[in-house]
Structure 1
Amino acid sequence: MDHPAVAMTTYELRVAGRLDPRWSDWFAGFTLTTEPDDTTTLRGSVADQADLHGLLARIRDLGLPLISVQPLD
Structure 2
Amino acid sequence: MHCHIRIKGHLDPSWQQSLEELHIMHEANGTTLLSGVLKDQADLYGVLLKIRSLSLSLLALETSETSYETAEK
Q: What is the total number of aligned residue pairs between the two structures?
A: 65
Structure 1 letter corresponding to 2:20:
A
Between the two proteins, what is the percent identity of the paired residues? 35
C-alpha distance in 1 between matches for 2:17 and 2:31: 19
Deviation per residue, 1:12-47 (Å, 9 max, x gap):
000001012221111111100010111000011111
Where does the alignment leave 5 or more consecutive residues of structure 2 unmatched?
67-73
Calculate the TM-score normalised by the size of structure 2: 0.83
Q: Which runs of 5+ in 1 are unaligned?
A: 1-8
Q: TM-score, normalised by structure 1?
A: 0.83
Q: Which has the larger radius of gyration?
A: 1
Instruction: Tell me the SS of whatever aligns to 1:50.
Output: helix
1:23 pairs with 15, 31, 48, which one?
Answer: 15
